Amino acid sequence: MRADRLLNAAILVLATLIGVVTFGYPFLSPGTAEMGPQGVARAPDAPLVALILTLLCVVIVVANLTSHQMSARSIAVLGVLTAVNAALRAVPGPAGFSAIFFLLGLCGYVYGATFGFLLGVLSLLVSALMGGGVGPWLPYQMFAAGWMGLTSGWLPDLRRRKVTELWMLALWTLLWGFLFGVIMNLWFWPYLSAAQITSSATWQRGLRLAELLRRYAAFYVATSAWWDTWRAVGNAGLVLVVGAPLVTALRRFEHVLGFQIEPLEPSRPSPDRP
């Protein structure tokens, strides 16, 4: 069992490293090209990255089924929650608000890091296919959402302190509402020129770290901070309103179906799991 869990962790680490390289290689490449309005500078590599990430998800599922860390029932639950989360994203909200993140955080917390990663990646993929949102940005959205679900599985289990648990989940969702935007902006920021945005907020090779962070902060505040605020506050509010009964239902659902999702970190305490 230990070898199976190490294999599962290795696949997740590999997927994360691919994501980091995908986001980061424009900052290390010899030159950058000005990006058109539809992200043409990164369009050629987007389908390949999305395909690799999807195949890695398939490998994760097969590996967990083979090692009995996941069952056919848990895969069915994953499919249902993916469809629900994709439908939530399709519901329009003010200023770009999307309710996809609160369920993702709760499921990652209850069912573990592996389940959370799969739910994040597949939710964005399915919602894009449903809503015609396929574009060069899609694989980057899949990575960012997957990382939210993954890290949600690392949160401490506070089921015995309900109020503390609820506020922890709300603050976590609030944090990721902003962090998702911070991560996503990296996929196109290096390609923007001074003609598209003020030169004090553009990326240039050779900048010192402090200046690089200052410019990116200026770019983030000027372009997406307002939209991310709606997403962060809205999803955190949903956690406070429906989070407690939903977490209880998710745990009861897991118990009734009799499946177990192994967390990435085996040391996490849980009174209901051996």
Q: Given this model, what pLDDT does residue 39 score? A: 53
- Both tokens assigned to 262: 């192994």
The answer to whether 173 and 105 have CB atoms below 8 angstroms apart is: yes
Highest-scoring range by mean pLDDT, 22-26, 126-130, 179-183? 179-183
Q: Give the mean model confidence (pLDDT) for residues 55-84.
A: 89
Task: Return the pLDDT at 41.
Answer: 56
Distance CA 155, CA 232 (A): 18
Of 56-70, 108-122, 196-210, give the range with the top mean pLDDT.
108-122
User: What's the whole-number mean pLDDT along residues 41-65?
Assistant: 86
Confidence of residue 142 (pLDDT cuts 50, 70, 90): very high
159, 177, 184, 41: which is closest to 109 by C-alpha?
159
Q: What is the pLDDT of residue 31?
A: 57
- Count of beta carbons in the 10 Å neighbourhood of residue 200: 12
Average pLDDT of every residue of the chain: 84
Report percent pLDDT > 90 for the chain: 52
Q: Which amino acid belongs to residue 62?
A: V
Q: How many CB atoms lie within 10 A of CB 78?
A: 19
Distance CA(153)–CA(39), nearest Å, equals 32
Instruction: Name the burial class of residue 231, with classes exposed (0-12), middle (13-18) and buried (19+) by CB atoms within 10 angstroms of its CB.
Output: buried
**Residues contacting residue 131 through CB under 8 Å, at least 6 positions apart:** 89, 90
Mean pLDDT value of segment 26-42: 59
Read off the pLDDT band of 203 (50, 70, 90).
confident
Domain spanning 2-24+41-257 has what CATH number?
1.10.1760.20
Q: What angle do CA 33, 37, 42 make, to 5 degrees?
A: 45
Q: What is the pLDDT of residue 274?
A: 38
Q: Does residue 152 contact residue 163 with C-beta atoms inside 8 Å?
A: no
Phi/psi of residue 74, each to 5°?
A: -65, -35
Q: Report the pLDDT value the prediction gives residue 143, as an integer from 0 to 100.
A: 96
260/71 Cα distance (integer angstroms): 8
234-274: pLDDT as tens digits? 999 999 999 999 999 998 887 655 555 444 444 444 444 43
- The amino acid sitting at 208 is R
Return the closest-CA partner of residue 135 out of 177, 188, 176: 188
pTM of the model: 0.87
Sequence letter at residue 178? F
Q: What pLDDT, in 10s, does the model give residues 153-174?
A: 999 999 899 999 999 999 999 9
Q: 196 or 249: whose pLDDT is higher?
A: 249
Cα 190 from chain centre: 22
Of 10, 6, 16, nearest to 150 by C-alpha is 16
Q: Domains of the chain: which residue ranges? A: 2-24+41-257
Q: Are 73 and 259 in contact (CB under 8 A)?
A: yes
